[in-house]
Chain A
Amino acid sequence: MLSPGILSRLKEIVGRERCFEGEVDRLCYAYDSSLESQLNRWLPDVVVQPQDREQVVAILKLANEHRIPVVPRGAGTGQCCGAVAHRGGIILDMSLMNRILRYDLENLQVVVQPGIVHAELNQALAAHGFFFPPDPGSTKMCTLGGMVSFNSSGMRAVKYGTTKNYVLGLEVVLPTGEVIVTGGQRSRALKSVAGYDLTSLFVGSEGTLGVITAIRLKVLPLPAKRGLVVAYFDNLEASGEAVIQVFRSRLFPSAIEILDRSAIKAAIKYKPALVLPEVEAMLLFEVDGPPPSVAYEAQSIARVCENFACKVEWTDDPARLNQLWTARSVVGAAAGQLKEGATRVYIGEDICVPVYRVPEALRRIRQIGEAYGITIVTYGHIGDGNLHAAPVINTYDPSEIERVRKVGDEIHRLALELEGTTTGEHGVGLTRAAYMEEEHGISFELMRRLKKAIDPLNILNPGKMALD
């Protein structure tokens, strides 16, 4: 528990109405989307919503002086208990710092505050003909601060890369209250090799090294047109072959997504209007660019797929495109509708393997599910090997919980065995902490040393990523 003195200092800093200490509020900040945060109650002592950098500085100084844990938080859509205060302390909800600070579109960049929601940023940019390409399924709710901290990405990562490819510089408040600017104090340049790449150090640091208060982001002109090729397959291997053959044919879609039979079922359930056939797998290829190249690329991809697929269609009708992408992006959350009394849970949900091993991974995930008697819906970004496994369980059944935890562990180990990584998107937090040593070997020790150097008293998001 925090002393009344500390609480009243916090209230002075952020304002009484932006400091929440009641049980009801604390409970609502004790979770993210992970299964573990549903099963455990890690209540913060207090939640504060800073409105500017100076308040963040004051809070961190206070916390550092009194060794109080501080957990930065965006929208809490992460899935690894990253934004959960499992050692109590202060939750720093960044939702109110949500403005676009500077448009600098002639230099292909914008400066934003971390609390801005991804979809809102892209809506604002679209009005000027630009966009920030990484596109997580959580676009409508997740914040840029969360995205930078998790190095989030989405379906278009194949062509456009992940968040880290767009972060040009950051303003970060360190645990001691110092404010640093990475990527050059006053730089508005699009690249730089001056010194260590501190920006990259903070991207993906999951709130363990500093609190991000501003982000200088690279943006791109919006492609003039988008097109979609949808291919249906009778067998899983054929879908993997098709993807590899597309690359070999020197075609480069912006996104390639796979839904296996279970995911197709969930999509049908969510949107019957889509009229999807229940096949073994389906691939969605998105192409974008000037209209003639979209048509050319889409047709070429369709031709390649015809050699492997049982049916291929293509569309550039924005309504159908939107419909199909929406169904794809919510298929995970919709998976819960497949089974009465059950829900989709996030555990072992975002491994990433080499592209050519995707069909093998899909099959093995299915086998793991069968071995433990757990329904798993699988889908993902086959273009970069990032797979989403969605176990659907009854969270009131202790035996299912126990089994699903084992399923999660096996999936993580499968990822490492297939020369992949335990998390391609959703971060380490608590739920992947156990695999860090194995995944990184000796370099993990350097991560620990960096953490100690920057946050000597270990107040920022302590206990996460197995750093202490």
Chain B
Amino acid sequence: MIRCVRCGQCRSVCPVFLVKKVESDSTRGRVTLIRALLEGEISFSEELGEKVWQCLLCHSCSQECPSGVQVEKIILAARSKMAELRGLPFSKKVLIQGLLPNLKSLSKLMALGRFLQSFGGKEVPGGYWLPSFSLPLFSSRVLPRLNSRSLFQMVPSEAPFIPRPKGRAVFYAGCMLAYGYPRTGKAVVEVLYYNGIEVVIPPDQVCCGLPALASGHRETFTRLREANLRVLKRVKADGIVTACPSCGSTLKEYYSSELQAKIFDFSEFLVAADFKPPDREWKSVVTYHDPCHLRKAQKVVRPPRRILASIPGIKFKEAADPGRCCGFGGTFGLYYPGLSREIGRARAGSLLDTGAEAVVTSCPGCMLQLADSLYRQQSTVPVRHLAEVLAEAYGFHKPLTAKEVVRPG
């Protein structure tokens, strides 16, 4: 923090600043405010709290900062201090302390979610659903149509026999792939199998804890981390694969240094395992949206592009501003839906400018946000996880039909 020279370079990349255009909403402003608070120059106020909460933890600034200021660490420390001093707001408490530690309750919630989705909303192309009423936390966001089964029920937890396996991986799915997008989670598993990798999916894995960490609730985070570490250390494998970059960066950065080298993003792992290029055509102009937690936090930029380039028929178009944040930011998207949506609109605009017929990304969070942002721009361009695209190109996933991607009403 003391390294910050107030050059303002972070202004050029902070998605919140780019929308709000006020200094206190820029990285430089946040860092200054936190410093002033710590030095006792100003006292805590709701106004200040807002500035600290209104950060996506997207790493854009840290990546850009010439002085090497690690902004997310500063923000996390400030949030943790704030939570300690003032406690969490009620809604955050429910989410962080009530729901997260217990994934089984999420399964129950899914049943409730499915029930809700059976009425009071409308079908959105591409496997989504838009509530006709405002849901607590989710406001009126386009949501994935919930599946009747979670990923854990869809795929066996132990690897079926592969004659001469190339390797063995633990799949750490994370909440979004396990419950929100199990179809995508399944694609990950199938793609790995197809490439000769045995996959183990421990059913007792729990949330990676990022929402707790981001909300300043270290205690819950530590509990979740310990639970996962017990599970992950138990299995003998060449690597722990995630297809959710937020989980991936949390595991890499905040779990254990001894585990760090074993954690891979799906794309990283495939490229390292010398994946088979598909031979079916996936004829489409595609662009790729870099999840912040993949490109900036984990510095994984080339592997997903290499995988896309290996698919016959794909015409790849890079957006003018690769690396721009989609505005979801996990709990940020839930607490500041308006702001999140505005950031999403800018992102969707630049992706659409490429003329792409499909937007590919590597993060279920980004998928959720981009689906909403594209839908709101009257766009029919589908958002796909890299794993799904690959599964289709290998031929074991049915492509979404034209009907599913028709123009929104």
Contacts and interface: CB of A to CB of B under 8 A. Distances in A.
B12 interface: yes
A145 interface: no
Interface string A148-177: 000000000000000000000000000000
A337 B8 contact: no
Interface in A10-48: 20, 22-25, 27-29, 31-33, 37-38, 41, 47
Interface stretch (B45-53, B108-116, B128-136, B311-319): B45-53
A418 to B, nearest CB: 27
A32 B23 CA distance: 11
A336 B22 contact: no
Interface string A55-95: 00000000000000000000111000000000000000101
Nearest to A266: B66
Nearest to A329: B66
B21 interface: yes
Interface in A136-152: 138, 140-142
A278 to B, nearest CB: 20
B22 A49 contact: yes
A358 interface: no
A93 B24 contact: no
Interface stretch (A233-241, A341-349, A421-429, A448-456): A341-349
Contacts of A345: 5
A451 to B, nearest CB: 28
Interface string B1-45: 011111111011000000001111010110011001000011001
A346 B67 CA distance: 13
B68 interface: yes
A444 interface: no
Contacts of A93: 22-23
Interface residues of A, number: 44
Given A23-B42, A27-B42, A138 B8 contact: yes
25 contacts: A20-B22, A23-B47, A24-B33, A27-B33, A28-B23, A28-B24, A28-B26, A28-B32, A31-B6, A32-B6, A33-B5, A38-B6, A49-B21, A75-B8, A77-B7, A119-B12, A140-B11, A142-B8, A330-B9, A330-B66, A333-B66, A337-B67, A343-B4, A344-B5, A395-B2
A343 B3 contact: yes
Interface in B197-212: none
Contacts, number: 100
A11 to B, nearest CB: 15
Contacts of A31: 6, 32
Contacts of B48: 24
Contact of B3 (A25, A117, A336): A336
A396 interface: yes
Closest 3 CB pairs of A and B: A333-B66, A330-B66, A140-B12
A341 B67 CA distance: 12
A117 B17 CA distance: 14
A24 B67 contact: no
A270 B24 CA distance: 27
B5 A336 contact: yes
A96 B21 contact: yes
Contact of A117 (B12, B32, B36, B45): B12
A29 to B, nearest CB: 6
Contacts of B7: 33, 77, 138, 141, 333
A140 B18 CA distance: 12
Contacts of A28: 22-24, 26, 28-29, 32-33
A312 to B, nearest CB: 27
Nearest to A326: B66
Contacts of B2: 341-343, 394-396
Contact of B8 (A20, A33, A47, A394): A33
B1 to A, nearest CB: 10
Interface string A331-373: 0111011000111111000000000000000000000000000
A77 B45 CA distance: 27
Contact of A25 (B11, B22, B68): B22
A322 B65 CA distance: 17
B21 A344 contact: no
Given A29-B23, A334-B66, A24 B9 contact: no
B46 to A, nearest CB: 10
Given A24-B47, A333-B9, A342-B2, 10 more contacts: A25-B24, A28-B26, A28-B28, A31-B32, A41-B41, A77-B7, A337-B67, A343-B2, A343-B4, A343-B5
Contacts of A49: 21-22
Contacts of A394: 2
Nearest to B30: A28
B70 to A, nearest CB: 12
Q: Which of B23, B26, B33 has the largest number of chain A CB atoms within 10 A?
A: B23
A334 B9 contact: no
A38 B32 CA distance: 10
A283 to B, nearest CB: 21
A20 B32 CA distance: 17
Contacts of A270: 66
Contact of A33 (B6, B12, B29, B33): B6
A95 B21 contact: yes
A342 B2 CA distance: 7
Interface in B270-293: none
